[in-house]
């Protein structure tokens, strides 16, 4: 039996147990935390350090509203901002955080590097929230025109997978482009100077640039990359605090309801925190679908496995990874043993 066949069987076995644990018969919409999860035994919470980015609308609203501080008055809640997912997960893996949100690619790179963290929840995909941009006067008109060109991106970010899929759609090889790995702020500066030919980026950086200089979008993630958002935790925190994770899901979903039902209030909370213009916040929230937070479903694990397989195929991660092995479930603790 081939190694690929064995790995596939292992993945399907893990997914089957995952579905059974949560009473799922197949791909379904994200569920709300179950009452059993909310009442699960958990150690008293003393410290919760949360990593977030400006794009994390739900987390930013929870932070600005002080809901967690009210819910856990005896715990020290600390909020730490990061420019992108890879930096956030590095902090999580070395014990500087307990909980955080990233896009689809950072957890794949972290798992391939042997980082000890687990997927605990997810938001629905946001395919319109990222794009491959060129300056409006650029001679690049199609994705195929990226051949031989310099494209800025944050390595290991959701934009990385978007660009992988865009290159594939264009009929090009990854070696046909010149990736230039830059953090978002540096990438925007290089893009506006013309030091790179294109830029793969996500909101709110995408929205800010769109309103400032009117670049052209060669493609968004629609039809290419679902741009899933994942909540991750350190393994010790997840294993000790199932009830806290359920509470986090509840407050994050409460924040999403605010975005949907009181958009002006949500824009003000995010703008006041981030320093972003209200117009930028409004634009990136328009591209964001309703985003309740819940446990990861089997269909989402399968989608994420495609991301991992694509990076391994291109040699961008050093070894294949099985995403399902680090999907945490509070009842079985299936994924709480190291691979």
The C-alpha atoms of residue 314 and residue 328 are separated, in whole angstroms, by: 28
Confidence of residue 277 (pLDDT cuts 50, 70, 90): very high
Question: What is the pLDDT, as a whole number, of residue 16?
Answer: 39
Question: What is the pLDDT, as a whole number, of residue 9?
Answer: 44
| DSSP annotation string for 173-221 | -GGGSEEEE--HHHHHHHHHHTSSSEEEEETTHHHHHHHHH--EEEEES
All domains of the chain, ordered by start, with CATH?
3-125+229-336 (3.40.190.10), 127-220 (3.40.190.10)
Tell whether the torsion through CA atoms of 28, 29, 35 and 38 is positive or negative. positive
Question: What is the pLDDT, as a whole number, of residue 283?
Answer: 97
Q: Phi first, then psi: what are they for 278, rounded to 5°?
A: -60, -30
Residue 22 predicted with pLDDT over 60: no
Taking only the tens place, the pLDDT of each residue in 220-255 is: 999 887 688 999 999 999 999 999 999 999 999 999
Q: Is 124 helix (H, G, I), strand (E, B) or coil?
A: coil
pTM: 0.82
Q: Which of 255, 198, 200, 240 is nearest to 57 (CA)?
A: 255
For residues 134 and 163, the answer to whether their CB atoms sit within 8 Å is: no
The C-alpha atoms of residue 229 and residue 202 are separated, in whole angstroms, by: 12
pLDDT over 70, % of the chain = 85
Question: What is the pLDDT, as a whole number, of residue 284?
Answer: 94
């Amino acid at each position: 039996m081939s190694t690929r066949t064995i790995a596939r069987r292992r993945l399907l076995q893990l997914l089957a147990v995952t579905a059974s644990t949560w009473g799922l018969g197949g791909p379904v919409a994200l569920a709300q935390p179950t009452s059993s999860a909310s009442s699960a035994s958990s150690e008293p919470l003393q410290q919760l350090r949360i990593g977030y980015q400006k794009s994390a609308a739900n987390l930013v609203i929870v932070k600005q509203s002080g809901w967690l501080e009210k819910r856990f008055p005896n715990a020290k809640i600390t909020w730490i901002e990061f420019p992108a997912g890879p930096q956030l997960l590095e902090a999580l893996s070395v014990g500087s955080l307990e909980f955080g949100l990233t896009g689809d690619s950072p957890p794949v790179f972290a798992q391939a590097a042997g980082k000890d963290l687990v997927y605990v929840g997810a938001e629905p995909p946001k395919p319109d929230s990222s794009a491959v941009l060129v300056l409006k006067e650029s001679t690049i008109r199609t994705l195929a025109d990226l051949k031989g060109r310099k494209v800025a991106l944050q390595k290991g970010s959701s934009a990385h997978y978007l660009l992988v899929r865009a290159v594939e759609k264009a009929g090009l090889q990854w070696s046909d482009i010149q990736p230039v790995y830059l953090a978002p702020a540096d990438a925007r500066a290089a893009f506006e100077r013309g030091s790179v030919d294109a830029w793969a980026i996500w909101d709110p950086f995408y929205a800010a640039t769109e309103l400032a200089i009117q670049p052209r979008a060669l493609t968004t993630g629609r039809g290419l990359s679902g741009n899933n958002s994942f909540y991750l935790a350190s393994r010790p925190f997840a294993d000790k605090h199932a009830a806290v994770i359920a509470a986090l899901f509840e407050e994050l979903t409460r924040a999403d309801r605010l975005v949907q039902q009181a958009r002006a209030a949500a824009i003000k909370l995010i703008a006041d925190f981030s320093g972003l213009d209200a117009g930028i916040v409004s634009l990136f929230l328009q591209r964001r679908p309703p985003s309740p937070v819940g446990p990861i479903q089997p269909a989402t694990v399968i989608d994420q496995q495609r991301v991992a397989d694509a990076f391994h195929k291109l040699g961008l991660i050093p070894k294949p990874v099985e995403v399902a092995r680090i999907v945490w479930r509070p009842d079985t603790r299936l994924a709480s043993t190291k691979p």
